Amino acid sequence: MNLQEILAAIRPINQQAAQEAKRRWDSIAKPLNSLGLLEQAVIRIAAMTGSSQVRLDRRGLVVMCADNGVVAEGVTQTGQEVTALVTENFYKGETSAAIMAKMANCDLIPVDIGVAREVAGEGLIHHKIAYGTGNIAQGPAMTRTQAVEAVEFGANLAYELAGQGYRILCTGEMGIGNTTTASAVTSVLLNLDPAQVTGRGAGLSSEGLSRKVQAIRRALEVNQPRSDDPLDLVAKVGGYDLAGLCGVFLGGALAGIPVVVDGFISGAAALLAVRLCPLVKGYLLASHCSAEPAGRYVLEALELEPVITAKMCLGEGTGAVALLPLLDLALGVYEGMSTFQEISMESYQPLD
């Protein structure tokens, strides 16, 4: 499907299913709302899928991998070659996200959407749009045509995974320099100064952080991205990983399945998707609040409350995957616990 067809086909969440899930929670023999955000997550998933019979038995982590030319500005602690090394380590099961995904019974789905060299490995999906982006401090990251291709690919991939039986998708990324591009995108989307939304990424000195902020300022001055046009924005100062993840959020909404926001970079991609189609907001789950400065700003803009507060900032989808066992625990109670009526107990009443 092309982007216009995707955007036109996304439908609102099912409020009736949400109400049925809420009634189920309230009937269970425990204090009302006592599992807090976990109860809310199950209710929201029911609304997304259109059924109060919530099943998350097949889950996947989509990791978009791409390089960013802005690393030439000295905005990272490590070199661009690390992107390819980690991308290949995904299929070997030797990354943090791979280990966590295995523990959470979650399939790992790594994608080469723009790594700067050829990468290989079993299970690695290849859709290399280019060998990394341009340096945003000197010109646009990519063409608008390439941005649209990346978004469409991500959306169609998510939709196809749903058709294969995946009931929830987590989002992750790998790309040295992508906190710089995500900060640039977020600065424009939220109309905030780059210094407010830019952090140390994987570990920058104060001098390095200053270079990073200045690189973003130059990128915005050189490219003049439009805040009212998400495609223009991601093409000029974003990255292929951001654009691909934006598509994953669109495709999940199209398929009627939940998509889990990971940290700051994933959140920036989700915000791009919501700006393209506001209905996407109903299909998002927030896993955690990133330790990056803009993590909280992005979640507030998406009107999402994270389940986990753990000061994580690893990326790769690690925070998103960490939510899955908590959802399993919540569903265990939701599906398996007796109701007040079944044990002849007087039900709790809501307080004013």
* Residues known to be catalytic: 316
Q: Among 86, 61, 9, 55, which residue's Cα sits nearest to residue 248?
A: 61
Q: How far apart are the C-alpha atoms of 116 and 67, rounded to whole Å?
A: 6
Which residues partner with 308 through β-bridges? 288
Q: How far apart are the C-alpha atoms of 258 and 59, rounded to whole Å?
A: 10
Q: How far apart are the C-alpha atoms of 33 and 334, rounded to whole Å?
A: 12
Question: In 17-26, which positions are buried (b, 16+ CB within 10 angstroms) versus exposed (e)?
Answer: bbebbbebbb
Q: Among 149, 133, 142, which residue's Cα sits nearest to residue 232?
A: 142
Q: How far apart are the C-alpha atoms of 214 and 121, rounded to whole Å?
A: 37
Q: Rounded to 5 degrees, what are φ and ψ at 284?
A: -100, 145
Cα-to-chain-centroid distance, residue 351: 36
Q: How far apart are the C-alpha atoms of 307 and 178, rounded to whole Å?
A: 24
